[in-house]
Structure 1
């Protein structure tokens, strides 16, 4: 009869073991496995999000580089246009100044010719007076 209580005890221990495994599975392992699966999914989604963000960042960097390249080209074009415009303006101003100087020079030459003619006329009118003065001085000597 000693075998029967041992079987009962064994059956009781086995039943408690099964109840304990069920309770541990229900209370501890399932929530723990669910948490681990959720955490793994979260990590995977974050990793995919990081990859998408890296792709977006790369696309944005490419776009920024393209914009900068275009901006540099436009700046060079604007700079060249401004340089050409300034050069044309300078050439126009130089041409205007040359024309003005040439006009002033021509006016000066005309004025000089007029003064020369006036001086010549004045001197030619004074020649008889000079002759008389010269003869008077020669006679005194």
Structure 2
């Protein structure tokens, strides 16, 4: 390709000052170039073309421009300000080929990928919105269940407290009654024991006093059978004042 481009390049045609007359000014004449007709190819046809077909078309265009008619070469040589060669058409063809190749290889798959990703993102967003509503419903249901469970637990606790308090009060009342009954029974027993003890003590004291009196009287009978009347009167007065026999008074008085 590079050899063809170099072979088709022409040197610039320079005009010497001696060939032009002195009084005349050079006039710029743009040559009318006749290019070969380019086939009109639509975009679907370009997309359907393969790389080998595009390469063959580019080679055909390059050869057709290389072997141009002699009139075109003469008109090009007459144009002193332009150096027209096959570089520009080849670059244009290469650009078109590159664009078609990029469209086939890069842009179309990339567009399909982007469309698929957008669709997937939209689907995920819609599913996330749906799940968020479900999550809200589940949270509300869970909150309702928790409220019901708390109310049920509090009611059960209050019921248990009332039942336990009633049982405790009943047991306390029973215990108090039992303690009071036991206390009354113990007090009654103590009272009876006290009375019995007092009776026993009274009987023992009476027996002891009788024994002492009898012993004292027996000793007095043997030692002094005849006592003075004054002394007997004194003893009798003491017996009348104290309620005890004279011998017992003598034992108790100092």
TM-score, structure 1 length as denominator? Answer: 0.74
Within a 5 Å distance, the mapping from 1:60-139 to structure 2 comes to 60-126=138-204, 128-129=206-207, 132=210, 134-135=244-245, 136-139=247-250
SS in 2 for 1:7: coil
Alignment gaps of 5+ in structure 1: none
Partner of residue 135 from structure 2, selected from 49, 57, 60: 57
- The CA deviation at 1:85 is 2.4
Partner of residue 37 from structure 1, selected from 99, 112, 115: 115
| Per-residue CA distance 1:38-94 (angstroms, 9 max, x = gap) | 111111011112111211221222122112212211221122122112212211220
Give distance in 2, aligned partners of 1:9 and 1:125: 164
Alignment gaps of 5+ in structure 2: 1-31, 41-60, 62-88, 213-243
Give distance in 2, aligned partners of 1:76 and 1:139: 86
SS in 2 for 1:72: helix
Give distance in 1, aligned partners of 2:250 and 2:173: 62
The structure carrying a bigger helix percent of its residues is 1
1:28 and 2:139 correspond: no
**Higher alpha-carbon Rg:** 2
Greater relative contact order: 1 or 2 (C-alpha under 8 angstroms, separation 6 or more)? 2
- The CA deviation at 1:127 is 5.2
| Per-residue CA distance 1:86-134 (angstroms, 9 max, x = gap) | 2122112202211210220221132123213312432442353465564
